[in-house]
Structure 1
Amino acid sequence: MQKYIVKTLLFILTFIGVINLNAQSYQIKEFGSKNSAKENQTKFSENQDNRVVNYSSLINYLPESGLYNSKVENVSISKELLELKNIKEILSFNYYQESEIVSSVLATKTQGLIYNHSKVICDRLNGDRLDDISTVLIKGHQIIKSTIKKASGKTTYSLRFSIKSGDTKKELFSFWTIDQYPTGFYQNYQIWGTSFTQILAIVNYTIDKHTIEKGLISKKVENILPNVFVRSGVYSNGILRLNIINKTNEREINFDGNIAETEISNHNKVTDSYSLSGDYYDTLSIETGVLFDIGFSIQVDNSNQKDVLYIAEGPWGLDYLNTYATVNSFDIDTAERRYLDDVYEVDRNAIASGEVKGNINLFRHLLPELKALNVEEYNFINFKIINNEPIEIVIMQDEDRAWENRIRYTVLANSDEKEYNISFNDFTDAAGNSVEISNIKTVVFSIIGDYTNYKPFNINLKQLSFRTNTVLAVDKLNSIGNSKLMNYPNPFTSSTTIQLPTTSEYVQIQVYDLIGRVVDAKRINTKSSSSKKVEYNAPQLKNGVYKYRLIDDKNNQHSGTFIVN
């Protein structure tokens, strides 16, 4: 089961991040691999030997140089995509002018169905914007053209088409969705770049090569594009927010989706209809609940064409070598959202158990496509954990940092569930120095053995989040709230009862030391809705004086002071 889960996660990341076609290794120390750099790539040649498996036939249909003497400098394949049953050959490369990429090619050979690269399908929900779709005639063949505004602000153009082998002639198809293509043996080309003339030159070459070889035919098809399509979108806090382009002033749209709550759960089908304003630019909010991924389509009643999209969150996963660890169980479940101000909540919880001799890493990529989350607004990492062995927590930024010099913090074993609020300043490198943390790609929870004997491990991690309300001036604490609270006993060692001024079903409490750092934050349920008392259990706080702020279920704020001895 575990091998299946890891393999599935690997495929998901490959699918949504396929533009980087170098095989992604899940050894933690290789997350920052430089294999995609220009100087590390295989050179283009139409006479490839067996160093790169089974793609020489595709190279024959693509030019060695592009427009304005742009050159191919790197050629790569994806071993993960070659594992898909219908993909027989695959290659990807970039055309450069100096060190700048001006156009890129993804080519595949498939049997049965075509392979449709996820660039338009996925990127609109990951920061890019699809400004227009249209058809163009190239050498007499109708091909779909897309205009995309990248998150960086750069505009790119793409052309995509597939060529089906025939007994006498080949046939070119260019459709918006995969299910419109007839079955057969295909070569699939997806070409994009910053200049339309650059990609047009590549397509002209490819069409000419196929035409000369066997003859190439195609049919012009009317209405092959959707009238309404997603320009851009984002998933956040259980809501899918879509920016729509409505070319025909439609008033209603049909939504059809498949949602998986976690990486290992089944997909559930959802369908609904939503009203539109009829404006060219429109917005649509769809409440999906917490999810790991969703594939969906939107379609209007008077059109046969639908717009299909896919989005996935950054996944949980395990990284280990079979010679150093075994996994008995690995589960992922949905996390209860707290919707607190100034908190970035990471969806879903992870539970794993097994035996370890070397090390095993439970990791969470925070965003899809291994993108980095900007955490400049946050200062603390927060989570709840049960663990029978010490855990080294590693923060991986978007930087070139050796694994041996990783940014780390260690927590001790906890037989009972414990909540941690750890300042970014408490994380250190190999020399013990604090490191400025401005972005995070991956959080790793590492269990390290003695590399001699196996020992059991278990980890149950919940409610991973990042907080911003970290340092609060002590004099400001004294003015917070509608009233000052009393608690008894005071001083106390492990627990104290706080007397509330009004009844409350639950409270949110934050505890600060005398220099204003948050040392604890949690939600506590009272014994009943009519109770005016709440019991606070201190999480192994050092002896001293602490201030606390408490918010009840009516959002009333109160404050108090206690002493831990």
Structure 2
Amino acid sequence: MTTTLRNLKNQLLILIVLLLSTTIQAQNIPFNCDYSAYLFQYNDVYAIDLASGNSYLAASDITTGNINAAAYNPADGFVWGYLSSPSKTIVRIGKNFQTTTFTIPELSTGNKYVGDINTNGIYYFKSGGTTYYKVDLNPSSNTYTQYLATETLSQNINIHDWAFNAVDGNLYAVEKSTNILYRINPTTSIVETIGVVPILAGLNYTYGAVYFDADGRFYVSANQTGTIYVIQNVQDLTATSIMDSNLFAFGPSSASNDGARCPTAPVLQEICDNGIDDDGDGLIDCEDPSCSGFGTCAVIAPPTTANDGGLESNGRLSEAINKRNFKRAKNSYKFNQKTAKRVTRDTSNTANKTMFTGFQLQDFIPLTVINEDYAIDSTPQDLLNITNATEVYSVDYMENDASIASILALKTENGVYEHTKYICDRLLGAELISVSTIDINNQAFIKSIIKNADGSFEYVLSLSAKVENNDSNFAIESHWNLDLYEQNVTFYNFQIWSDSIDDLYILAQGVLNLLNTEKPLSTYNLSPPPTVFVRKGQYNNGALDLQIINTNSTQNVTFDSGYRVTETSEFNYASSNINLNENYITDITVPTGHLFDVGFRIGDGINTPDDLFMSDGPWGVDDSQSSTTVNNYIIEANTNTFSNEDFPIERNVILNATTSTYFAAYRALTPRFKAVDLTNFNNLTLSAKGTGNLEITLVKQSITNWEEQHKTTIALTDNFQEFVLNFSDFSSSLNAPLNANDIVTIVFTMASEDGTVTSKEMQLQDVRFSNQDTLSVNSFETETNTNAFAAYPNPMLSRTNLNFTINNNETVQLTIYNQLGAIVYQKNINAKTGKNQIEISKQNLSSGLYICRLTSKQTHYNPLKLLVK
């Protein structure tokens, strides 16, 4: 028995020694100058990729007190910080986020939130005022972890973090409110004023996390918005220098922010004019925020008007939405911002309000807070008939007669409003550049940055308010996923977008302040942003082509989808797994089969999942005449495969109706009824049968009078016939030939010729825009034909060569368009007499059909269709 006890004690002793050794070893794992920046928020740690701004939670609750004055120590490779409690305590943090604390008795009580460590391991930290402290954190020093001195700065500066520049050994900081860059000499304590940082001029943020890279670039993060700014070569600046500063990335916001990073680690930089993703964030040249304002890269672009917004992100009301858009297209409706009613804070509203002791949506719209020239009423009243909104009001904020921001406000009585811009837009040509947080009233809301199909950028935020506590308070909810909102309650929904993240912050804060004025805000229920999200995607030939951004090295995500094959079919459901292999960017094709619309969710089952919805251009029925009754309406999937040379109008239609006037089937070319340039085609081809004459109208966006649209008529029989309708067959009362550069909709109309009630039917199959001209795309023609323009290989997998001949030396322009008519590539080429070749690579081109145009002053080249696999 004694032997057994002795053996048990020895085993326990060995186990304890092993555990202690493991703990000590774990605590002694340094970061060793890795490339990440570390952001400390209270006692949580986020790892940030400065190049992209993307972040993920690396560790939570690593200490009992909050960590501030965080700094990387070049002398030992660890990160150190100052603890809020216990007082006078600093903490060492290892790469696995194990911590060791040290008490420094000589320090004053109270928090210290500004700190960094020089190359010799001396920790410089402070709170407000001019006093700062030095502690030795060099493990080879005799005074390791001991207090060294208390020093006094030459002047008081209102800063919240500073950082050592390894290039010159000085400390640098940016002051709140004044936005002045300071240089602090750690030997003399002299503070040198360098000047206002141009990119920060006029802002009023707290800069609680700052970093350096190996080349002396100074990165400054704003607590409230999470925006990361960069100042180039600060070691070379003087008070008379021209300071080079710019946006760099969009990271997470925080009410408590402090940063640490190895100052000799490089940060990848995007070169803004070489067509390459230099920093590995998936954004090329002007797409990258760090290229804002560089060369031809725009600083801002007007966002869309709220009058175009507000379509729900689901398939439940697709038919009603389709009718709304058709009505707009048929009437050539276009919202005119220049003639719209201007909005002012009408003093009579206050009097009316006191009379009925209520409030209106208008009461929660801030005005003049972003120094707009004026605001206009852009309310899309037609949303009331097709969505779950019972009230709607929107404002566009105008500057130089262009929209710079919008707020769309909607009241719903049966749950949250069902549309958010980020759910729909990514599968309709837009890209989700970034998703992170923005801190408003010490609450972390989700902000997203969307690049629209036209190249403009929008900063987007949504929130909803509901009444609680017997109508005495407003409670705020804001989630990425709509199913997280409380069900069956009345919400006041606000969707805010702007061309500036700073204006987004101000407008959202203004909405919250006005809500709080009406009813004090009692609670916030907010969700974090997704860590894995789809940046962009498109439906193409029975599959979804997706680009997935994986910010926290997730291995696998689940793909759950609900879809319909046609507009009139039932929903089907499917689930599968996607292997991301922990890669930051994954381009993947998800087979779906042919479909009309799809909603899907991807997620790892732990963090916030990402939701998306996509609809193809819809078919619809115009049965608006009182005498018209639809007897049979069926939409069927195509059975034939379209040629890669065609612009397909997917799905077939059977429509039978009784009328004494007319009825029609119509098909939008895009989900949003946007115009498409079809000038690369010369005919509309379809198979059809039915009873009597069928009038076909190609609706141009630029023609405002329906009677002036271009039409043609074909005679249907009981048997299917193929019709090839050249554009020249379409005539207009304008007596002008059809220019198919802005076709929005195709309308197929059948009428009662004599005004009596009659039944008619149309059956339409394999509708497509085509081109009778054939163009060899398999090889380069070597004959002396000077207008030969060909690509090889075609289809293009990773790269192709465009070949052409020219008679004389000339600068020609190559332009490549996508199927929506948007320019995706443009380049000038100095062509030489004879054969020429242009090599292009796939880069960020999605799979699909593209049109290549070669513009020359001396030679006409036929457009070339290029298929990208």
Is TM-score (shorter-chain normalized) higher than 0.5?
A: yes
Q: Sort the Cα spacing of 1:112 and 1:142 in 2 relative to 1 into closer, same or farther, 3 A.
A: farther
- Amino acid aligned to 1:461: L
Correspondence for 1:115 among 417, 422, 427? 417
User: Partner residue of 2:223?
Assistant: none
Asked if 2 retains the 8 angstrom alpha-carbon contact of 1:142 and 1:174, the reply is no
User: Partner residue of 1:488?
Assistant: none
Correspondence for 2:492 among 187, 191, 196? 187
Matches for 1:275-354 after TM superposition, within 5 Å:
275-301=579-605, 303-354=606-657
2:456 maps to 1:157 = no
> In 2, Cα distance between the equivalents of 1:191 and 1:56?
20
3-state SS, counterpart of residue 441 of structure 1: strand
* Offset, 1:73: 1.1
Correspondence for 1:59 among 352, 359, 362? 362
* Offset, 1:77: 3.9
* Offset, 1:69: 3.2
Q: Sort the Cα spacing of 1:153 and 1:26 in 2 relative to 1 into closer, same or farther, 3 A.
A: closer
- Amino acid aligned to 1:141: Q
What RMSD over aligned residues (CA atoms) do the two structures have, in Å? 2.7
- Amino acid aligned to 1:216: L
Q: Sort the Cα spacing of 1:387 and 1:201 in 2 relative to 1 into closer, same or farther, 3 A.
A: same
* Offset, 1:323: 3.2
* Offset, 1:319: 1.4
Q: Sort the Cα spacing of 1:446 and 1:73 in 2 relative to 1 into closer, same or farther, 3 A.
A: same
Asked if 2 retains the 8 angstrom alpha-carbon contact of 1:387 and 1:457, the reply is yes
- Amino acid aligned to 1:445: F
Q: When the two structures are aligned, how many residues end up with a matched partner?
A: 452
User: Partner residue of 1:414?
Assistant: 717
3-state SS, counterpart of residue 411 of structure 2: strand
Q: Which has the higher contact order (CA 8 A, sep 6+)?
A: 1
User: Partner residue of 1:206?
Assistant: 511
> In 1, Cα distance between the equivalents of 2:694 and 2:533?
46
User: Partner residue of 2:562?
Assistant: 258
Which has more strand, going by share of residues?
1
2:539 maps to 1:239 = no
* Offset, 1:83: 5.5
Asked if 1 retains the 8 angstrom alpha-carbon contact of 2:531 and 2:607, the reply is no
Matches for 1:451-470 after TM superposition, within 5 Å:
452-470=755-773
- TM-superposition CA deviations, 1:488-518 (whole Å, max 9, x none): xxxxxxxxxxxxxxxxxxxxxxxxxxxxxxx
Matches for 1:363-378 after TM superposition, within 5 Å:
363-378=666-681
> In 1, Cα distance between the equivalents of 2:554 and 2:430?
24
Q: Sort the Cα spacing of 1:38 and 1:451 in 2 relative to 1 into closer, same or farther, 3 A.
A: farther
> In 2, Cα distance between the equivalents of 1:434 and 1:198?
46
> In 2, Cα distance between the equivalents of 1:310 and 1:133?
17
3-state SS, counterpart of residue 423 of structure 2: helix
Asked if 1 retains the 8 angstrom alpha-carbon contact of 2:372 and 2:397, the reply is no
Give the stretch that moved more between structures: 235-244 or 349-358: 349-358
- Amino acid aligned to 1:108: L
* Offset, 1:322: 2.7
* Offset, 1:225: 1.8
* Offset, 1:371: 1.3
3-state SS, counterpart of residue 67 of structure 1: coil
Asked if 1 retains the 8 angstrom alpha-carbon contact of 2:558 and 2:577, the reply is yes
- TM-superposition CA deviations, 1:204-259 (whole Å, max 9, x none): 222222223332144586x7221100111111111111111110122222100101
Q: Sort the Cα spacing of 1:76 and 1:27 in 2 relative to 1 into closer, same or farther, 3 A.
A: closer
2:714 maps to 1:405 = no
- Amino acid aligned to 1:34: K
- Amino acid aligned to 1:26: K
* Offset, 1:363: 0.9
- TM-superposition CA deviations, 1:24-59 (whole Å, max 9, x none): 5638741x1134544145755555799xxxx96111
> In 2, Cα distance between the equivalents of 1:39 and 1:110?
29
User: Partner residue of 2:444?
Assistant: 142
Asked if 1 retains the 8 angstrom alpha-carbon contact of 2:535 and 2:547, the reply is yes
- Amino acid aligned to 1:130: L
- Amino acid aligned to 2:598: I
- Amino acid aligned to 2:741: S
User: Partner residue of 2:320?
Assistant: 11
Give the stretch that moved more between structures: 171-180 or 231-240: 171-180
> In 2, Cα distance between the equivalents of 1:243 and 1:349?
30
* Offset, 1:99: 1.4
* Offset, 1:145: 0.8
> In 2, Cα distance between the equivalents of 1:337 and 1:42?
52
> In 2, Cα distance between the equivalents of 1:360 and 1:276?
50
Q: Sort the Cα spacing of 1:367 and 1:84 in 2 relative to 1 into closer, same or farther, 3 A.
A: closer
* Offset, 1:142: 2.0
Asked if 1 retains the 8 angstrom alpha-carbon contact of 2:380 and 2:392, the reply is yes
User: Partner residue of 1:169?
Assistant: 473
Q: Sort the Cα spacing of 1:39 and 1:456 in 2 relative to 1 into closer, same or farther, 3 A.
A: same
- Amino acid aligned to 2:657: G
* Offset, 1:327: 2.0
* Offset, 1:114: 1.4
Correspondence for 1:380 among 677, 683, 701? 683
Asked if 2 retains the 8 angstrom alpha-carbon contact of 1:106 and 1:189, the reply is yes
Asked if 2 retains the 8 angstrom alpha-carbon contact of 1:296 and 1:308, the reply is yes
User: Partner residue of 1:272?
Assistant: 576
> In 1, Cα distance between the equivalents of 2:688 and 2:325?
29
Asked if 1 retains the 8 angstrom alpha-carbon contact of 2:329 and 2:701, the reply is no
> In 1, Cα distance between the equivalents of 2:574 and 2:773?
40
> In 2, Cα distance between the equivalents of 1:163 and 1:425?
55
- Amino acid aligned to 2:433: D
Correspondence for 2:434 among 128, 132, 139? 132
User: Partner residue of 2:521?
Assistant: 216
* Offset, 1:98: 3.0
Q: Sort the Cα spacing of 1:7 and 1:159 in 2 relative to 1 into closer, same or farther, 3 A.
A: closer
Asked if 1 retains the 8 angstrom alpha-carbon contact of 2:465 and 2:474, the reply is yes
Asked if 1 retains the 8 angstrom alpha-carbon contact of 2:601 and 2:609, the reply is yes
* Structure 1, gaps ≥5 residues long: 1-5, 15-22, 474-565
* Structure 2, gaps ≥5 residues long: 1-314, 777-869
- Amino acid aligned to 1:319: D
> In 1, Cα distance between the equivalents of 2:597 and 2:445?
30
3-state SS, counterpart of residue 371 of structure 2: helix
Q: Sort the Cα spacing of 1:210 and 1:7 in 2 relative to 1 into closer, same or farther, 3 A.
A: closer
- Amino acid aligned to 1:138: I
Asked if 2 retains the 8 angstrom alpha-carbon contact of 1:327 and 1:355, the reply is yes
The two structures have a TM-score, normalised by structure 2, of: 0.49
Q: Percent identity?
A: 26
- TM-superposition CA deviations, 1:76-97 (whole Å, max 9, x none): 1434445645x33222221111
* Offset, 1:9: 4.3
User: Partner residue of 1:88?
Assistant: 390
* Offset, 1:262: 0.9
User: Partner residue of 1:39?
Assistant: 339
> In 2, Cα distance between the equivalents of 1:157 and 1:8?
27
- TM-superposition CA deviations, 1:333-359 (whole Å, max 9, x none): 111131423122211111111223222
> In 2, Cα distance between the equivalents of 1:41 and 1:470?
50
3-state SS, counterpart of residue 707 of structure 2: helix
3-state SS, counterpart of residue 438 of structure 2: strand
Matches for 1:520-539 after TM superposition, within 5 Å:
none
Give the stretch that moved more between structures: 62-71 or 39-48: 39-48
Asked if 2 retains the 8 angstrom alpha-carbon contact of 1:258 and 1:270, the reply is yes
